Amino acid sequence: MKPLEPPDSHHLSAAIGWLGLGNVAEARAELKKIAPQFHSHPDVLAVQFDIHAAAGEWEAAVEIAGTLTRLEPDEPGAWVSLAYATRRKTGGGIPRARAILIQA
């Protein structure tokens, strides 16, 4: 998929920076500034996953990672993210995470 262009790429970079500083709220605010047509861009979804993971929102993280695996099935990181979030979500666990990785 085509890379994001400014100003959306700047908002994405800012969101990554805020996450690096541990500020989930500001990271979310930066992602909201990205044009709606790019909210399903894989790079945006990857940062959304990171935000949900940082906040311990594992159900939402599983949803985002599942979308990433459908958009980019050959991207190993998407599968690892899905397994990671599945392991931590309520009702998840190591066997379910392992099954995801075997499937990948």
When pLDDT is averaged across residues 4-25 and rounded to a whole number, the result is 98
> pLDDT by residue (tens digit) across 24-36?
999 999 999 999 9
Note whether 49 and 14 are within 8 A (CB).
no
- Greatest C-alpha distance within the chain: 42
Q: Is the pTM of this model over 0.85?
A: yes
pLDDT per residue as tens digits for the range 80-98: 999 999 999 999 999 999 9
pLDDT at 1: 82
Tokens of 79: 């599968």
Residues 6+ apart with CB under 8 A from 33: 7, 11
